[in-house]
């Protein structure tokens, strides 16, 4: 073996060596085993949970990536026995048909180097190209596979993505890694989320709902009962059976007092700082200790009170507000305070789903409903919200054809999946939101008038941040969320004054970003004016667009930096343009 061979090449070479040791030759015929019907039935019964979660929960989530491709998805157990396959079989060599039926065994001993068998042998995700298969009869396809582990880190199966296309190995390997991580996460949540607290965490605040977030499930005593492998990687060790207080260096009561379904910052051992999101047990939605009720803008409080009353009476709600005002936060709070807090809150961003997939995502589809459809069908997001709340965000971006179907559903509360099938009754509450003028869209013919009146049983407008009377309380809450240990607990009067006077065109989302940046730049010091980002000052009117506090001793600081304006700008946390303006004004 060449010393310079890549890790992948070494992995394939090691597999070929095992195949030769098994007595295989390149011309050998694959041997998939010959289980009888009773053995296959028993196998599928044992693996019913893994099969169902893969088929009903994971594959529909990746339909937009798989629907128009020539991929074949295969799922095996930990012994390499095929449980099921989904997708196209048009490229399968007829001589290999037996290998794609339930019960077929894809171990290296009988099939040579292949994605499933080699992933099992080396316990890691692997891509096997066409000519990297040891047996020539298998070289009609390329595949990538990833081993699957349960919450206790026991190997439970393998997920495989294969194709006859010459696709980049990184593309197929990346896809199977995403799908396998998503599947492992869902299995963990199905087993524990009903009676455990759920903590998602990651290095950034925008990926807490992705499959790459760390996931911890802990009980009422704070013991971690389940975790995904991403949590191991982020924490540098397995957190299983440890205490959440020790992992996060935070008292359990303080952790449980954090806002539900909202990002917050947390430190762990080694001063690592993560962004986190907490969710309550489904079975115990009211078990969370109540935080002290903060000051709240009267208009927001009134909107919450009115919306809560009408949600219980099944009157649809329409929430207006500028981008970033916190419409999703409002709906989360509404859901948590409702009688349906223990049931699903399914949020659908109508602007982010491709137009051609909106109907299938919302209403589901029967098997064979369209080219590339999952052969078992898909229940759709509306049915997933059954007994709970459906949140249609950015509803103004919904295509007109989908608006017509949504109207029919809202009239009779029965879902008709694409491709036929019997209508299915669904019990949900509907909340919609938009940052657009829907009445203007109605006049322009872009939004159905009958749908508008159907979703706007009560129309509420959330005020922009610049108009809210509780800005100071919001600033303090956000500072508490992002403040690092050792930092002062209060902001200086000068910083607070500018924060209060800022127009905040990006609303709460912008305020959270500005404070997060400022606190990170300040470190263990208090936040000073130079820690506020330049974009913050650029939106202040007149002379306030320049951080005047940097004047104090500015010439001395410039001399200390040997006249290097760029260096001094970095030290002060301002742009060179801002610094030049201030120097010219001295």
- Domain boundary, last residue among 245, 279, 313: 279
User: How far is 348 from 352, CA to CA, in rounded Å?
Assistant: 9
Take residue 583 and report the two structure tokens written for it. Answer: 């120097």
Take residue 260 and report the two structure tokens written for it. Answer: 């539900």
Burial group, residue 68, by CB count within 10 angstroms (0-12, 13-18, 19+): exposed
Take residue 229 and report the two structure tokens written for it. Answer: 């492998």
- Tell me if 178 is assigned to some domain: no
Judge if 359 and 217 occupy the same domain: no
- Domain boundary, last residue among 461, 489, 514: 461
Judge if 443 and 579 occupy the same domain: no
- Domain boundary, last residue among 444, 461, 478: 461
Tally of domains in the chain: 4
| pLDDT by 10-residue block (mean), the chain, 586 residues | 74 96 95 92 90 87 66 93 88 80 95 96 94 93 93 92 80 86 90 83 78 88 90 88 86 82 74 82 44 66 89 92 89 86 85 70 63 54 88 90 87 78 85 93 93 92 92 86 75 89 91 85 80 83 48 65 69 62 58
State the pLDDT at residue 549: 44
- Tell me if 175 is assigned to some domain: no
Judge if 18 and 92 occupy the same domain: yes
State the pLDDT at residue 75: 96
Judge if 443 and 494 occupy the same domain: no
- Tell me if 426 is assigned to some domain: yes
Angle between helices 471-482 and 507-522 (to 10 degrees): 50
Judge if 450 and 484 occupy the same domain: no
Task: Count Cβ neighbours within 10 Å for each residue of 94-105 and write b for 16 or more, e otherwise.
Answer: eebeebbebbbb
The domain of 28 spans: 7-168
Take residue 413 and report the two structure tokens written for it. Answer: 């509360």
Q: Are residues 574 and 557 in contact, defined by beta-carbon separation less than 8 angstroms?
A: no
Look up residue 378 and give its DSSP letter. B
324 CB-side CA count, 13 A: 13
Q: How many CB atoms within 10 Å of residue 31?
A: 17
Take residue 484 and report the two structure tokens written for it. Answer: 């690092």
State the pLDDT at residue 65: 65
- Tell me if 188 is assigned to some domain: no
Beta-strand pair 272-279/264-268:
antiparallel
Take residue 94 and report the two structure tokens written for it. Answer: 């007829």
> Is the sign of the CA dihedral 11, 17, 23, 28 positive or negative?
positive
Judge if 394 and 454 occupy the same domain: yes
pTM above 0.75, yes or no: no
Q: Are residues 369 and 418 in contact, defined by beta-carbon separation less than 8 angstroms?
A: yes
- Tell me if 394 is assigned to some domain: yes
How many helices (DSSP H) and strands (DSSP E) are in the chain? 24, 17
User: How far is 519 from 511, CA to CA, in rounded Å?
Assistant: 12
Nearest to 50 by CA among 190, 198, 162: 190
Give kind and range of the element (H or E) at residue 148.
strand 142-149
State the pLDDT at residue 581: 58
3-state secondary structure of 197: strand
- Tell me if 185 is assigned to some domain: no
Q: For residue 256, what is the domain's CATH number?
A: 3.30.450
Judge if 162 and 227 occupy the same domain: no
Q: For residue 79, what is the domain's CATH number?
A: 3.30.450.40
- Tell me if 257 is assigned to some domain: yes
Judge if 164 and 20 occupy the same domain: yes
Look up residue 73 and give its DSSP letter. E
State the pLDDT at residue 580: 59
3-state secondary structure of 241: coil
User: How far is 478 from 490, CA to CA, in rounded Å?
Assistant: 12
Judge if 418 and 484 occupy the same domain: no
Take residue 571 and report the two structure tokens written for it. Answer: 């030290």
Q: For residue 356, what is the domain's CATH number?
A: 3.40.50.300
Judge if 60 and 130 occupy the same domain: yes
Judge if 61 and 86 occupy the same domain: yes
Q: Are residues 196 and 224 in contact, defined by beta-carbon separation less than 8 angstroms?
A: no
Judge if 479 and 571 occupy the same domain: yes
Look up residue 448 and give its DSSP letter. -
State the pLDDT at residue 544: 43
- Tell me if 119 is assigned to some domain: yes
Nearest-5° angle of CA 509, CA 513, CA 519? 145
């Amino acid at each position: 073996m060449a010393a310079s061979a890549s890790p992948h090449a070494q992995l394939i070479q090691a597999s070929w060596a095992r195949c030769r040791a098994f007595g295989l030759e390149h011309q050998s015929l694959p041997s998939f085993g010959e289980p009888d019907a009773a053995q296959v039935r028993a196998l599928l019964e044992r693996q019913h949970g893994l099969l169902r979660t893969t088929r009903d929960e994971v594959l529909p989530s990746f339909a937009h990536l798989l629907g128009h491709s020539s991929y074949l998805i295969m799922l095996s157990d930990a012994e390499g026995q095929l449980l099921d396959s989904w997708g196209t079989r048009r490229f399968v060599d007829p001589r290999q048909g037996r290998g794609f039926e339930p019960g077929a065994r894809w171990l290296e001993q009988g099939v040579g180097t292949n994605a499933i068998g080699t992933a099992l042998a080396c316990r890691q995700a692997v891509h096997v190209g066409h000519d990297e298969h040891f047996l020539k009869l298998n070289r009609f396809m390329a595949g990538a596979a990833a081993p699957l582990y349960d919450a206790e880190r026991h190997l439970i199966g393998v997920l495989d993505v294969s194709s006859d296309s010459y696709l980049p190995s990184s593309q197929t390997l990346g896809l199977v890694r995403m799908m396998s991580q998503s599947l492992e996460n869902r299995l963990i949540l199905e087993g524990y989320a009903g009676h455990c607290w759920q903590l998602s965490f990651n290095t950034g605040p925008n990926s807490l709902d992705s499959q790459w977030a760390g996931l911890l499930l802990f009980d009422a005593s704070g013991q971690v009962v389940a975790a995904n492998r991403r949590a191991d990687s982020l924490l540098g060790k397995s957190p299983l059976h440890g205490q959440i207080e020790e992992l996060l260096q935070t008292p359990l009561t303080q952790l449980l007092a954090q806002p539900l379904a909202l990002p917050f910052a947390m430190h762990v051992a080694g001063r690592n700082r993560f962004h986190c999101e907490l969710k309550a047990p489904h079975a115990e939605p009211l078990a969370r200790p109540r935080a002290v009720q903060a000051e709240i803008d009267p208009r927001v409080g009134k909107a919450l009170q009115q919306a809560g009353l009408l949600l219980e009476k099944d009157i649809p709600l329409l929430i207006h507000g500028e981008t970033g005002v916190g419409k999703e936060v409002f709906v989360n709070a509404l859901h948590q305070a409702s009688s349906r807090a223990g049931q699903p809150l399914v949020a659908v961003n109508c602007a982010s789903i491709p137009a051609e997939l909106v109907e299938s995502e919302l209403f589901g589809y029967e098997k064979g409903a369209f080219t590339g459809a999952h052969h078992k069908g898909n229940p759709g997001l509306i049915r997933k919200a059954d007994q709970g709340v459906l949140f249609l965000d950015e509803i103004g971006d919904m295509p007109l054809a989908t608006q017509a179907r949504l109207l029919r559903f809202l009239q009779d509360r029965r879902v008709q999946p694409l491709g036929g099938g019997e209508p299915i009754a669904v019990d949900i509450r509907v909340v919609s939101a938009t940052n657009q003028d829907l009445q203007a869209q109605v006049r322009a013919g872009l939004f159905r008038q009958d749908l508008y009146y159907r979703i706007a049983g009560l129309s509420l407008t959330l005020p922009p941040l610049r108009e809210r009377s509780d800005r100071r309380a919001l600033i303090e809450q956000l500072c508490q969320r992002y403040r690092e240990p050792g930092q002062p607990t209060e902001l200086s009067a000068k910083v607070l004054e500018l924060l209060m006077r800022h127009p905040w065109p990006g609303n709460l989302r912008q305020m959270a970003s500005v404070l997060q940046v400022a606190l990170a730049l300040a470190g263990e010091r208090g936040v000073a004016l130079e820690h506020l980002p330049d974009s913050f000052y650029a939106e202040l009117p007149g002379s306030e667009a320049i951080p005047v506090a940097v004047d104090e001793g500015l010439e001395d600081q410039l001399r200390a930096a040997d006249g290097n304006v760029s260096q001094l700008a970095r030290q002060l946390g301002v742009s060179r343009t801002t610094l030049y303006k201030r120097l010219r004004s001295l």
